[in-house]
Each structure stands twice: as C-alpha cells, then as structure tokens.
Amino acid sequence: MKVNAALIGSGNIGTDLMYKALRSDWINPVWMVGIDPESDGLAKAREAGLKTTHEGVDGLLPHIEEDSIQMAFDATSAYVHAENSRKLNERGVLVIDLTPAAIGPYCVPVVNLKEHVGKKEMNVNMVSCGGQATIPMVAAVSRVQPVEYGEIVATVASLSAGPGTRKNIDEFTRTTASGVEKVGGAARGKAIIILNPADPPLIMRDTVHCLTETRPDEEAIRESVASMIAEVQKYVPGYRLVNGPVFDGNRVSMFMQVEGLGDYLPKYAGNLDIMTAAALRTAELFGEEIANGTISLSAAGA
C-alpha cells in the first residue's frame, strides 16, 4: 500500500520531485501546494492528476484527513518552513524538509536514514544539494578512519541555482559545512559553492577533500568509496567518480560529477536531482515501514 503525500512548493524542486514520486512504489503524490495560481509547477501537477491549491499550506490542511495525507515534502523556503512544519506535524504528517531551515535532524539517506526511521522523527532535513552529493564521500572516508577536516566544493550551473539559493548563499555554506561534520563525520567541515554560467551549462561537479588524522589506508578507502557510490547510484544513477581518490600525504580527494535524470530541469541540474531523489528515498523508507506496520505516525502532542 502506498503512502499518500503532499508536495509543498511548486518551484523547480517541488515539480521535479513530483515526477519522481509518480514513479514510486511506496509514495503516492496526491496534492501539490503553491502560492502562485499561474505557476508552471501547479499546472504540471494538475496535468498529472494531482489536486492543487495556490493558498499555501492552509489550503491543504482541511483535506489532510479525507485524503489520508501522511507525509509532506516542503520545498518552499527557510522562512516559512517552521510554520508549515508545525501545522503539518500537529496533524500527524511527517515532514521532509528540502529548505535550508534545518529544524529537524540532517538526513543523507545512504549514511543515516535508517537511524531516523528508527527514532520515528517527524521532521527530517535534506541538508543541501551540495551536501547530498558530498557527505556520502566524507562518510566513506570517516568510516575507515578518523577525518580531522572535511572540505567540499560544489560547482553548479548558474541556470540551476534559483533565486532562493542566490539570496541565501550563506545558508548553503553554513548548512553544508555543518552536515559534513554531523553526518559526514569530519571533526571540522567547510563548504564552498561556485555558480558557473558557462553555456552549454556544466553538469554539477563536486570535489571532496578529507584530511585524515593518520596516514590514509588507501586500499580500504578505495573500497569504501566504491561501495558508497554504488549505494548512492541506487537513487541517483548519474552519480559518479570522475577522478580519485587522490592520496597526497594525509589528504584524500574525490572528484565527483552528478548528472540528473532530466525529469523537470535538464540533466545538467544534478544538484536538483540529487536533492529530490534523496528526499524521495527518505520518504520511501519511512513509507515502507509505515506500510509494514513497523512504525506509525501520530499527531504531535497527541
């Protein structure tokens, strides 16, 4: 049995996520919520047979019970997320946060999703696109040996960075650096983002540098990186290692490329893809557990 879900936010991320969710074995997207009646995302959602509202989360709330909505993806903005989440949690809806608000714990599916499902979290945050692309690599090294410092450089095509990212670029660097520490397992984290306007647009590139406390165990790290990549490829097939791991003293560097599926934005926008795919993967694992009766959601405070 699929779990009914609502998509909050009808921009690039929400729309891309809708196409992915429509193919899911565990998630059934029922509603898309926007604030602009003219938005392309809402039109696309109607075409796909979803119910829509342009009155924000308040337009959805009266329908939660009758449509048995158990999960919601929030792809709006950090400013409104807390309020959206509160209203949804109150009604027993689990919220997967794709904004940089990060009021819930960070979730990078291949690293710590099972932990969150076990704890029955009601709000999990997807860090950032750069975080989803790089934290698995930091974790691949840190599960072999202690990482004293993890640094990531995410380069995305200018066309794939929307106004939200641009206005809040500091939130990207802050949230991603913190995810590199908390989920990636580096003692200290740093994140850098570059927007490149080249035409044709470049496919998302990510560089990951780890400084290990002791001399890196090259063989174990190569193996760990390869198996981590295979795990990520289960939900992002276009995730690949272009070069590396390069070993230079205690430095371990991986050069990644993330090509998207091209569901809504073109394939170069791997940054959007890895975010939406990770969010869906997260929802699916929760959904699987709900369907199996292993966990059940309850209204906050109830």
Among 23, 46, 114, 166, binds other proteins (CB under 8 A): 166
27, 94, 95, 129: the active-site residue:
129
What minimum distance in Å lies between the beta carbon of 294 and other proteins? 41
CB distance 183 to 139 below 8 Å? yes
Smallest distance, other proteins to C-beta of residue 222, A: 15
The one among 20, 87, 116, 205 contacting other proteins by CB under 8 A: 205
Dihedral angle computed from the Cα positions of residues 268, 76, 127 and 209, in that order, rounded to the nearest 10 degrees: 40
Q: Contact between 230 and other proteins (CB under 8 A)? A: no
Can residue 198 be called a binding residue for other proteins (CB under 8 A)? yes
Residues that bind other proteins (rule: CB under 8 A) add up to a total of 35
Establish if 247 lies at the interface with other proteins (CB under 8 A).
Answer: no
Q: Binding of other proteins at residue 77 (CB under 8 A)?
A: no
Rg (CA), the chain: 19
We find the least distance from the C-beta atom of residue 5 to other proteins, in angstroms, to be 32
SS3 for the chain, per residue?
A: CCEEEEEECCCHHHHHHHHHHHCCCCEEEEEEECCCCCCHHHHHHHHCCCEEECCHHHHHHHHCCCCCEEEEEECCCHHHHHHHHHHHHHCCCEEEECCCCCCCCECCHHHHHHHHHHCCCCEEECCCHHHHHHHHHHHHHHCCCCEEEEEEEEEEEHHHCCHHHHHCHHHHHHHHHHHHHHCCCEEEEEEEEEEECCCCCCCEEEEEEEEECCCCCHHHHHHHHHHHHHHHHCCCCCEEEEEEEEEECCEEEEEEEECCCCCCCCCCCHHHHHHHHHHHHHHHHHHHHHHCCCCCCCCCCC
Pairing assessment for the beta strands 251-258 and 239-248 based on DSSP bridges: antiparallel
Interaction between residue 167 and other proteins (CB under 8 A): yes
**Smaller CB separation from other proteins, 24 or 257:** 257
The answer to whether residue 99 forms part of the interface with other proteins (CB under 8 A) is: no
Q: Cβ closer to other proteins: 6 or 252?
A: 252
**Identity of the residue, 81 or 209, whose beta carbon is nearer to other proteins in the bound complex:** 209
Q: Does 158 bind other proteins (CB under 8 A)?
A: yes
The reply to whether 153 sits near other proteins by the rule CB under 8 A is yes
Tell me if 173 contacts other proteins by CB under 8 A. yes
Binding mask 2-31 for other proteins (x = CB under 8 A): ------------------------------
Residue 210 annotated to the active site: no
Instruction: Give yes or no for residue 35 binding other proteins (CB under 8 A).
Output: no
Q: Which residues bind other proteins (CB under 8 A)?
A: 149, 151, 153, 155, 158, 163, 166-170, 172-174, 190, 192-198, 202, 205, 207, 209, 211, 242-244, 246, 248, 251, 253, 255
Active site residues: 129
